[in-house]
Amino acid sequence: MSTTTYREAARAAMRRALEDDPRVFLMGEDVGRYGGAFAVSRGLLEVFGPERIRDTPLSESAFVGAGIGAALGGMRPIVEVMTVNFSLLAMDQIVNNAATLRHMSGGQLSVPVLIRMATGAGKQIAAQHSHSWENWYASVPGLKVLAAGSVQDAHDMVLAGLADPDPVVLFETMALYNLEGELDTSVDPEGVWRAAVRRAGRDVSLISYGSSMPKTLEAAERLAAEGVDAEVLDLRCLRPLDDAAIVATVERTHRAVIVDEGWRTGSLAGEVSARIMEGAFYALDAPVERVCTAEVPIPYAKHLEDAALPSVDGIVAAARRALAREP
């Protein structure tokens, strides 16, 4: 157990995978000489050389597709798409090739590619660079989708994604790369496929993932100071969703607040809400609350961006609303 950052945890996992398996290689824009747009891969080029740490042209479709092809050809590629925003240029390859090839080939093919991308807002980089499209990828059969909301998961999800025989889309949160936390490298990474209770509580369930995890945990602490015992569930795996854990937490607390940095319309929060309705309707003492991003393109100005995104205040307020409702 040691204290490290989210960024360094992801790097440590990649380094370990590169050391352990000669089929593993990393490719993406500026992952080599530049050291990674968010410095996640800094230093790897010097250790593993340009054959395994490959700087790509700005050709998202080609290099993501090449990762899929290399996976078909026997490699274990890590494809870094700088951010989810640019992954839209590779959507065809991810949705039409990576996700379909196994089923569409009658089970002949497997695509063991790990596609990492940074997601989320909060860095004042305006509408085109602040998207959260976890919901889109999580809606596609054939993909597995992970979202790292802790330092430990930033590490374990790289290893779990690489060990898996299917295409895995791993979301790292842009605003969390400097997050500090404990890392235990002896943890079995397989745990990441299930949701995790980050804080046990009895009064209300705060359900979140990835980008919004630190805010959600902070909101739980604020609520605790007010005498409200909130449970915090980190979904971790967005496809497949851990239905059992979602139902279980609602059955314990009878009230749910879902925190999701995506837009409310068509959001993962909507999906989780529906699953609560399907699986735990009679356990609910109040309507499900959702805390999502305001339905505007994310603005540049700090005060406007803050107003658009889920906030600790907003989560606390939503929890209070849920608690105020009589069964």
Partner 1 sequence: MSTIARERGRHLLREMLRIRRLEERSAELYGQGKIRGFLHLYVGEEAVAVGAMQALGPEDVVVATYREHGQALARGMDPGAVMAEMYGKVTGCSKGRGGSMHLFSHALRFYGGSGIVAGGLPLAVGLALAAKMLGERRVTACFFGDGATDEGEFHESLNLAALWALPVLFLCENNRYAMGTALHRHAANPDLRQLPAAYGVVAEKVDGMDVLAVERAVRHAAEEVREQGTPRFLELETYRFRAHSMFDAELYRDEAEVRAEQARDPITLFSERLRAQGLLDDDALAAIEREVEEELARAVAFAEQSPWEPVEELATDVVTREVGR
Residue 256 bridge partners (DSSP): 205
Instruction: Check binding of 73 to partner 1 (CB under 8 A).
Output: yes
Catalytic residue flag (residue 129): yes
Among 30, 42, 62, 251, binds partner 1 (CB under 8 A): 62
Binding mask 266-305 for partner 1 (x = CB under 8 A): ----------------------------------------
Considering beta carbons, is residue 101 or 258 the nearer one to partner 1? 101
Strand, helix or coil for residue 312 = helix
Instruction: Check binding of 61 to partner 1 (CB under 8 A).
Output: yes
Among 41, 56, 130, 216, binds partner 1 (CB under 8 A): 56
Classify residue 199 by burial, with Cβ atoms within 10 Å: 0-12, 13-18, 19+: middle
State in angstroms the smallest separation of the CB of 158 from partner 1. 15
- Cα gap 311→291, rounded to integer Å: 8
**Binding range to partner 1, per CB under 8 A, among 10-18, 58-66, 261-269, 300-308:** 58-66
- Cα gap 57→54, rounded to integer Å: 10
Under a CB-based contact definition with an 8 Å cutoff, are residues 195 and 236 in contact? yes
What's the one-letter identity of residue 77?
Answer: P
Under a CB-based contact definition with an 8 Å cutoff, are residues 77 and 55 in contact? no
CB atoms within 10 A of CB 240: 12
Under a CB-based contact definition with an 8 Å cutoff, are residues 41 and 32 in contact? yes
**What letter does residue 289 receive in the DSSP assignment?**
E
- Cα gap 317→236, rounded to integer Å: 24
Instruction: Check binding of 51 to partner 1 (CB under 8 A).
Output: yes
From 115, 121, 75, 126, select the one nearest 91 (Cα to Cα): 115
Among 28, 32, 36, 65, binds partner 1 (CB under 8 A): 65
Among 120, 142, 262, 314, binds partner 1 (CB under 8 A): 142
State in angstroms the smallest separation of the CB of 86 from partner 1. 13
Task: List the alpha helices (DSSP H) in 131-185.
Answer: 134-138, 151-163
Q: Which helix (H) or strand (E) holds 146?
A: strand 144-147
Catalytic residue flag (residue 60): yes
Out of 8, 60, 261, 289, the active site residue is 60
Residues 84-123 touching partner 1, rule: CB under 8 A, are 92-93, 96-97, 101-110
Instruction: Check binding of 165 to partner 1 (CB under 8 A).
Output: yes
Considering beta carbons, is residue 240 or 287 the nearer one to partner 1? 240
State in angstroms the smallest separation of the CB of 123 from partner 1. 28
How many residues belong to the site for partner 1 (CB under 8 A)? 47
- Cα gap 119→109, rounded to integer Å: 29
Among 16, 42, 75, 214, binds partner 1 (CB under 8 A): 75
* Residues tagged active-site: 60, 129
Instruction: Give the binding site for partner 1 (CB under 8 A).
Output: 25, 51, 54, 56-57, 59, 61-75, 77, 92-93, 96-97, 101-110, 141-142, 144, 164-166, 193-194, 237, 240, 242
